[in-house]
Amino acid sequence: MSSSSKRCLKLLERCKNMNQLNQAHAQAITCGLGTNNFALSRLLAFCANPNHGSLTHAWNLFQHIQNPTICICNTMIKAFFVKGEIFKTIRLYTNMLNNGMYPDNYTLPYVLKACAKLQYFCFGELVYGHCLKLGFVFDIFVGNALIAMYCGFDNLKVARSIFDEIPKLDVVSWTVMISGYGQMGDIDTARLLFDEAPVKDRGIWGAVISGYVKNNCFKEGLYLFRLMQMNDIEPDEAIFVSILCACAHLGALDTGIWIHKYLDKQKFPLSLRLSTCLVDMYAKCGNLDMAKKLFDEMRQRDVVSWNVMVSGMAMHGYGESALELFRQMENDGVRPDDVTFIAVFSACSYSGMVFEGLRILDIMCNVYKIEPKSEHFGCIIDLLSRGGLFEEASQIIQRMPDSSNPSNEAIAWRALLSSCYSYGQTKLGEVAAEKLMELEDHSGAYVLLSNLYAASGKHYDAKRIKQMMRSRGVNKAPGCSSVKINGIVHEFIAGEKSHLQMEEIHLILDKLDKQLDYAGEIYSAD
């Protein structure tokens, strides 16, 4: 290779934008490198860069290559995948096979990822066959992509069989498999696998913590987070997001504040997602002022951020403020989604703004063309019931467009029954309970109706409903409460006595009872 050709290749490596690349490309053609495979692969690799590349330029260039090598095809496949042209990734792979080219261990992972993204199960099976035929199943990169694909297809049996067959697993293999179990709700197997992992890096810790949080095991997620810190593993953004979610659900404000201070101290960049999680955590843990302060300081907001803040306002009974935020959201050009309207209807319901809620329902349907879901109807029914419009609420349920779906209809009747219990509407409550019992065999309807009878003085009917529960084998879910002391979440379930300090707790409760009795006697004497 001549010195001028070498200079051209160096020039290609130094390009920083498409203008410079075009100049370097012209130089390469002048130097006789217009058909040089290495030079062409470097040009394509630059075009595939997600930050400054051009997919159109890459494809035009690729189409002019007469006999592209597997390396050049791989670069183009990667370019399509990275730029989000997932279907074109599959099509180019098919063209390669039709032209008699064999994929290698660089081609297959991108194609398998494309199958997972598109949920192309049948084609994914076909590519798996290619992997077996060509002997790439035991390649760690191909194997990991296969595990990820089958986890994406919710086929953990095949994913696990591939995982077990790979002779030398790496941390990615363990992370993907643990994430797969967590995604499918099998958190116990995910934890067993986590315990077996020979090396536990941040990704593996993040996978099991995320699995716990996604499966509503918030207490266990916080416990794993503390263990991770004891092992000197620095958390990343994904782990912070999971833990903030757990804090929000448990009301663990002190842990959430600690994370916030840690992020500030480490000058950790607050992404849109992380900022939104902080706002959500503060709102759900009762510190609405801090939630609003952080929300106001956000440089960028998406619909999720607005939803979190509107929902926080609604949750704390600030209906007018929630509606004001909703109007500000519209003025800022952010298009509300179905979740936004659930938050707005809740705000109207909590604040007794019946007609405002109905007006916003009209806006949702006719302006934003969002079809109401069962959750929206549940909010509207609650809104009408709180305003004393029980008959109107009952009529809405019967006119629900998706009433053919038992699950959706059950949500609506449950909302009406709950409101009937709150406002002592025994007659309509009986109708709602009857409808609900026809749709689902859940203890909630029986308990609410029994409580409604008891509150109305109909103790015989209340007892009859409890007997009906027993005869039908419907079990009431036991009540559960939790309290966080010194960073540890203690959970108490009604009737359970497994807590290690249960004896001490009862001794203290007995003392409190005696003190309250004594205080009551003094008050009566006065």
Query: Which three-class secondary structure state does DSSP give residue 69?
Result: coil
Question: How far apart are alpha carbons 350 and 323 in whole angstroms?
Answer: 12
Cβ count near 212 (within 10 Å)? 23
Supply the pLDDT for residue 396.
76
Supply the pLDDT for residue 501.
74
Cβ count near 145 (within 10 Å)? 26
Query: Which three-class secondary structure state does DSSP give residue 5?
Result: helix
Using 50, 70 and 90 to split pLDDT, how confident is the model at 68? Answer: confident
Q: Which residue has the higher pLDDT, 483 or 177?
A: 177
pLDDT over 60 (residue 436): yes
Least confident of 54-63, 94-103, 425-434: 425-434
Convert the pLDDT of each residue in 106-163 to its tens digit: 999 999 999 999 999 999 999 999 999 999 988 999 999 999 999 999 999 999 999 9
User: Could you tell me the residue ranges of all domains in the chain?
Assistant: 372-480
DSSP for 224-272, written as a single string: HHHHHHHTTPPP-HHHHHHHHHHHHHHT-HHHHHHHHHHHHHTT----H
Spell out the residues 6+ positions from residue 367 whose beta carbon is closer than 8 angstroms to its own. none
Specify the DSSP element, H or E, that contains 481.
Answer: strand 480-485
Q: Could you give the angle at the alpha carbon of 217 between the alpha carbons of 213 and 223, nearest 5°?
A: 85
Return the CATH number of the domain spanning residue range 372-480.
1.25.40
Using 50, 70 and 90 to split pLDDT, how confident is the model at 403? Answer: very low
Supply the pLDDT for residue 8.
63
Note if the pTM is more than 0.85: no
Specify the DSSP element, H or E, that contains 480.
Answer: strand 480-485
Rounded mean pLDDT of the chain? 84
Alpha helices in 153-201 (DSSP H): 156-165, 171-183, 187-196
pLDDT over 60 (residue 1): no
Using 50, 70 and 90 to split pLDDT, how confident is the model at 457? Answer: confident
Supply the pLDDT for residue 518.
64
Residue 162's nearest CA partner among 101, 108, 102, 92 is 108
DSSP for 106-146, written as a single string: THHHHHHHHHHHHT-HHHHHHHHHHHHHHT-TTSHHHHHHH
- Token pair 């209906």 is found at 319
Task: Please give the average per-residue pLDDT across 437-463, as a whole number.
Answer: 72
Task: Please give the average per-residue pLDDT across 225-234, as a whole number.
Answer: 93
